[in-house]
Amino acid sequence: MAMKFPHAICCALGFLLILGCSDKAKDLFETAVFEENQNNVPHARELYEELIRAHPSSKQAELAKARLADLTAR
């Protein structure tokens, strides 16, 4: 029984590590799009800007720039 406890801890830590490696840029972009679709444009802008600052070289940053430009043109 003593050997199962360390194994369980290792499994739990591994699971948390996997969860921590989610694609933050993608998550931010999807949330911003959701906010935009809910007509919460100010929050969508904030999320797009945060995405661009935090993940400038991601493909989502390029999409966020395009979305910001579109929101500004409205």
* Token reading at 33: 């799009």
**Structure confidence at residue 9 as a pLDDT band (50, 70, 90):** low
57 with 24: CB under 8 angstroms?
no
Q: Where are the beta strands (DSSP E) in 1-74?
A: none
Q: Count of CB atoms within 10 A of residue 51's CB? A: 26
pLDDT tens column, 22-45: 599 999 999 999 999 999 999 999
Longest dimension (CA), the chain: 65
Fill in the amino acid letter for 6. P
Name the pTM for this structure.
Answer: 0.71
* Token reading at 24: 């933050």
